[in-house]
Amino acid sequence: MKGGKKVAARLREGKGGGIPWTVIMDGEGAKKITSDSPTGNIGCPVTKEERAWFMKMLRETKHNMTDADLEEIGRALEAFAKKLRH
Protein backbone atom coordinates (compact mmCIF):
# COMPACT_ATOMS: atom_id res chain seq x y z
CA MET A 1 0.00 0.00 0.00
CA LYS A 2 1.43 3.33 -0.99
CA GLY A 3 1.82 5.43 2.15
CA GLY A 4 0.95 2.45 4.33
CA LYS A 5 3.71 3.12 6.84
CA LYS A 6 2.42 6.66 7.41
CA VAL A 7 -1.15 5.44 7.84
CA ALA A 8 -0.05 2.72 10.26
CA ALA A 9 2.06 5.17 12.27
CA ARG A 10 -0.89 7.56 12.56
CA LEU A 11 -3.35 4.85 13.57
CA ARG A 12 -0.94 3.16 15.97
CA GLU A 13 -0.12 6.50 17.61
CA GLY A 14 3.58 5.73 17.66
CA LYS A 15 3.20 2.31 19.29
CA GLY A 16 5.39 -0.41 17.89
CA GLY A 17 4.42 -4.02 17.54
CA GLY A 18 4.10 -6.83 15.13
CA ILE A 19 1.77 -7.61 12.32
CA PRO A 20 -0.94 -8.42 11.71
CA TRP A 21 -2.32 -5.44 13.57
CA THR A 22 -6.03 -4.66 13.42
CA VAL A 23 -8.09 -1.53 13.94
CA ILE A 24 -11.87 -1.30 13.82
CA MET A 25 -13.12 2.14 12.87
CA ASP A 26 -16.54 3.71 12.68
CA GLY A 27 -18.10 5.14 9.53
CA GLU A 28 -16.45 8.50 10.17
CA GLY A 29 -12.98 6.97 10.38
CA ALA A 30 -12.68 7.23 14.17
CA LYS A 31 -10.79 4.41 15.83
CA LYS A 32 -13.07 2.26 18.01
CA ILE A 33 -10.72 -0.53 19.16
CA THR A 34 -7.44 -2.10 18.10
CA SER A 35 -5.71 -5.42 18.48
CA ASP A 36 -3.49 -3.83 21.15
CA SER A 37 -4.67 -5.69 24.23
CA PRO A 38 -3.42 -4.80 27.72
CA THR A 39 -0.56 -7.26 27.12
CA GLY A 40 0.28 -6.08 23.58
CA ASN A 41 -0.78 -6.73 19.99
CA ILE A 42 -2.72 -9.98 19.68
CA GLY A 43 -1.61 -10.47 16.07
CA CYS A 44 -3.27 -13.60 14.75
CA PRO A 45 -5.43 -14.57 17.76
CA VAL A 46 -4.33 -18.09 18.67
CA THR A 47 -3.98 -18.18 22.46
CA LYS A 48 -7.04 -18.14 24.71
CA GLU A 49 -6.23 -14.58 25.79
CA GLU A 50 -5.71 -13.37 22.21
CA ARG A 51 -8.99 -14.93 21.08
CA ALA A 52 -10.79 -13.36 24.04
CA TRP A 53 -9.48 -9.91 23.06
CA PHE A 54 -10.45 -10.41 19.42
CA MET A 55 -13.96 -11.42 20.45
CA LYS A 56 -14.14 -8.33 22.70
CA MET A 57 -13.18 -6.23 19.68
CA LEU A 58 -16.10 -7.69 17.74
CA ARG A 59 -18.62 -7.55 20.59
CA GLU A 60 -17.87 -3.91 21.36
CA THR A 61 -18.15 -2.74 17.76
CA LYS A 62 -20.79 -4.99 16.24
CA HIS A 63 -23.78 -3.52 14.48
CA ASN A 64 -25.37 -6.32 12.53
CA MET A 65 -23.67 -9.37 14.02
CA THR A 66 -25.83 -11.60 16.14
CA ASP A 67 -24.73 -13.52 19.20
CA ALA A 68 -24.92 -16.63 17.02
CA ASP A 69 -22.52 -15.00 14.53
CA LEU A 70 -20.08 -14.25 17.34
CA GLU A 71 -20.34 -17.79 18.67
CA GLU A 72 -19.59 -19.16 15.21
CA ILE A 73 -16.52 -16.92 14.88
CA GLY A 74 -15.36 -17.99 18.33
CA ARG A 75 -15.69 -21.68 17.41
CA ALA A 76 -13.80 -21.12 14.15
CA LEU A 77 -10.97 -19.35 15.99
CA GLU A 78 -10.75 -22.19 18.51
CA ALA A 79 -10.65 -24.78 15.71
CA PHE A 80 -7.90 -22.83 13.96
CA ALA A 81 -5.88 -22.57 17.18
CA LYS A 82 -6.35 -26.27 17.86
CA LYS A 83 -4.87 -27.15 14.46
CA LEU A 84 -1.80 -25.06 15.23
CA ARG A 85 -1.28 -26.78 18.58
CA HIS A 86 -1.15 -30.24 16.98
DSSP string, 29-80: S-EEEESEETTEE--S--SHHHHHHHHHHHHHH-SS--HHHHHHHHHHHHHH
Which pLDDT tens digit goes with each residue over 7-23?
A: 888 888 877 778 899 99
Task: Summarize pLDDT for 25-56 with one digit per residue, the tens.
Answer: 999 989 999 999 999 999 999 999 999 999 99
